[in-house]
Amino acid sequence: MEVKLNEEELGLLLNDLMEVHGYDFTSYAKASLRRRVNRLMSLDKFPSFAEFRYKIKSDSSYLKRFVEEITVNVTEMFRDPSFYAILRTKILPQLATKPFIRIWHAGCATGEEVYSMAILLQEAKLLNKSLLYATDINPDVLEEAQKGIFQLNYMKQYSENYVASGGREDFSSYYTANYDRVIFKDQLRSRMIFATHNLVSDSSFNEFQLIMCRNVLIYFDKDLQERVFTLFDNSLEPLGFLALGSKETLRFSAIESKFQQVKDQKIWKKIE
């Protein structure tokens, strides 16, 4: 039978990670974390929890693998097309009046969201005065994101999403296909900055007009969500926007009163 963690063992593991390596996963939602750890123990064929724990404590190259595999890096271009349609029609026109636009993608995974945003900015003729800061805890996915190379077989879906978001160009004009891969145009990539940033432990590093943090907070417990909201609040200009994933909300948070929700959208405007 597969080895499965109990709650106590998960606690021991999280403690080790913190004490030995300084990685703090203690405020992550446990159900998903437990599932990811079980999956990793079974992928790497550990006969027991004790051996898994020993490996994590003693082998720092395995720690890298642990972080890569424990985080959920699944993402899509123009995921939730209606969200991108609102960015296009309601949010970007407000940012357009600024002399310079800084956007932070927190938890950008392999970058699909960042390229989608760059395309929107390009079409709104704002890309040249924008900078997209793309960060994640997982260095591996950032390396991927930086390359701008994606699988060709996803392009059909992405192109449909793009059209559903109100895109009118030929989606394939944004990339060059090469066998089963595509590479996105340098022009899009030229305005992106990639860096590791851990939302648990790293602090604010700039002031932004728009922060996107989608499908990251679902992995955090309430306390950590609250801390990250404060971090975002501290990193947003007055009248800046915060965009969350389709199942995430600012409601009931301590900073809610400083923000106004864009009608029916998971987008909030900082009003004070």
Partner 1 sequence: MEKDRVNIQRVIIIGGSAGSLEVLLEVLPQLKHDLKIPIILVMHRKATAESTLVNLLSSRTSICLKEAEEKEHIRNNCIYLAPADYHLLFEDDLSFSLDYSEKINYSRPSIDVSFESAAEVFKDNLVAILLSGANSDGTNGLREVQQRGGLSIVQDPATAEVSFMPRSAVDAKVADKTIAVTELANFINQL
Note the residues at the interface with ligand SAM (CB under 6 A): 71-76, 79, 107-109, 113, 136-138, 141, 198-200, 214-216, 219, 245
Minimum CB distance to ligand SAM smaller for 106 or for 236: 106
Which of the listed partners (ligand SAM, partner 1, none) does 89 bind, with a CB threshold of 5 to 8 Å by partner kind? Answer: none
For partner 1, what does the binding mask look like between residues 58 and 97, x meaning CB under 8 A?
Answer: --------------x-x-----------------------
Minimum CB distance to partner 1 smaller for 109 or for 134: 109
Residue closest to 69 by CA, chosen among 36, 46, 94 = 36
Q: Could you tell me if 78 and 116 are in contact, meaning their C-beta atoms sit under 8 angstroms apart?
A: yes
Q: How far is the CB of 247 from partner 1 (least distance, A)?
A: 5
Which of the listed partners (partner 1, ligand SAM, none) does 248 bind, with a CB threshold of 5 to 8 Å by partner kind? Answer: partner 1
Minimum CB distance to partner 1 smaller for 8 or for 186: 8
Interacting span for partner 1 (CB under 8 A) from 30-38, 122-130, 134-142, 254-262: 30-38
In Å, what is the CA distance from 257 to each residue of 193, 195, 260, 271?
31, 31, 8, 9
Q: How far is the CB of 240 from ligand SAM (least distance, A)?
A: 18
Among 52, 219, 229, 241, binds partner 1 (CB under 8 A): 219
Minimum CB distance to ligand SAM smaller for 215 or for 253: 215
Minimum CB distance to ligand SAM smaller for 51 or for 69: 69
Chain residues that interact with partner 1, rule: CB under 8 A: 7, 29-32, 34-36, 72, 74, 215, 218-219, 222, 245, 247-248
